[in-house]
Structures are given as C-alpha cells and as structure tokens.
Structure 1
C-alpha cells in the first residue's frame, strides 16, 4: 500500500484545474490518497507486467500506481479495467482516501446531520457561496 499526500496531487494538477476545484480539494490537503494495487498484486500472485497486459495499460503506469508516484492520473475506463482484471467490486479496493481523524469525524457528523435534517452544513454553505463568487470572477 502506497500513500500520496493530497497536497502533492493538487500541486501536480493545479495547472489543469480551475481555482475553485483546487481550493475545494485543498480542504483535504492533509489527507492521503492510498494506492492498494501492490497488495492486490501480491494477494493474486501476479506481476505488474501481468496486470499491464490484462488491462492494456502501460507497465510504467502500473509501476507508478504501485509506487504511489505523484502525478499519475487514471480515467474511469482505466479504473474499470483494473477492477475487472483484479476482480474487485469497489473502487476503494484499488484506491482510497485516508482522512485525518478530526476531518473524518467532522465529515461523518455533518453528513449524518445533513441526511437527518436535509439542511446543508453551514460550513459547506459558506464554501458553496465563496466558490460561486470565485467562479464568477474567473
């Protein structure tokens, strides 16, 4: 299992994304994007080269995923191909987001309240309003 800081991912992609996207994602800058492909390969006793030939992806791309290299991007078709080749049913079996404990607890609390009272959390309303203002100024 390899981890990549969300802040590093944002830093690599900031030129491709608009400011609203990067600012929103930056809320989780201390989180880790977790790649689990190396564990799956070991469990299934297959090599990176095997997975590359099974998915049609480059060996270099598989290697970057296994090693958690910054700047790797996957599209939905590639994720689906990985799921098929590795016989997994959830994206979280391949990649996951590991939130800091305080953020996890806050998100869980706000999610539960939002679902219960059907009212968007105040913090999220403020972010939404600010993002609309930023988007209109871009």
Structure 2
C-alpha cells in the first residue's frame, strides 16, 4: 500500500489548483490517501502489465496509478479496474485515512448536521472564510 499524506500532496500541489481548494484540503492535517492497487496485484499474482492488458489501459497509466504519480482517474477507468480485479468498492483500490481525533470530530459533526440540518460551527467558519477569499476580501 502506498500512502500519500495530504500535506505532501499540498506541497506538490497541481499548479492549476486554486488556493481555496488547497487551504480546504489542508484542514485534513495528517490524513493520507492510501493506494492499494499494488497489494491487490500481489494478492492475485498478476503484474501491472497483466492488469494493463486486462483493462485496456497503458502499462504506463497502471504504473502511475499504482505509484501515486497519476492520481487522476476517470470513472470508466475506475470501473475497468474494479471489473478486472473483481472488487466491489472503491475502498478496495483507494482509501482516505484520517487521524483518530479528526475522524471522531467529523463523525460527531456529521451526525449533528444530519439531525439538526444546521451546519456545524467549523463548517460555517470555513464556508465564510472561503467566500471572503474568493471575493478577494480576505
């Protein structure tokens, strides 16, 4: 499994990514993006080349996906990977992992938001700040 910390992704952020997106993603702190395709290949005893032939994708594309170099993937490619590897959930290929305290905070705020239909205070603040940033007022 290849792990890519949010902070590392932000440092090597895409040049076309706007600052608001970068700042909002930065709120996830020590969260990381886990790429599990290589583990699946090993479990199934196949190579990247085999997977490329099974899916119709280029070997280079598979290599980029496995190594986290090309983390952009379209829905058709995703379904091709899922069909070839016989997985039913995107979590079998990719997964977001949050620090325990952040996960607990998100769970609490999500439950509150669902039950009250009111945005949690932290989300309201983020929203307000992002609107001000996009308006050039912050």
2:11 is the counterpart of 1:8: no
2:115 is the counterpart of 1:116: yes
Which residue is equivalent to 2:59? 59
Aligned length: 137
TM-superposed CA distance for 1:11, in Å, is: 2.3
After TM superposition, the structure 1 = structure 2 runs for residues 97-112 of structure 1, keeping only pairs within 5 Å, are 97-112=96-111
Deviation >4 Å, runs of 4+: none
Inter-partner Cα distance in structure 2 for 1:70 and 1:6: 14
Inter-partner Cα distance in structure 2 for 1:74 and 1:16: 17
TM-superposed CA distance for 1:71, in Å, is: 5.6
Q: Cα distance 1:71–1:88, how it changes in 2: closer, same or farther (>3 A)?
A: closer
Deviates more, 1:42-51 or 1:92-101: 42-51
| TM-score, normalization by structure 2 | 0.88
TM-superposed CA distance for 1:56, in Å, is: 2.5
Which residue is equivalent to 2:29? 29
Is the contact between residue 28 and residue 98 of structure 2 (CA under 8 Å) also seen in structure 1?
Answer: yes
| TM-score, normalization by structure 1 | 0.88
Which residue is equivalent to 1:85? 84
TM-superposed CA distance for 1:39, in Å, is: 1.6
TM-superposed CA distance for 1:62, in Å, is: 2.1
**Alpha-carbon deviations, 1:15-49, whole Å to 9, x = none?**
12111111111111311100111121122221111
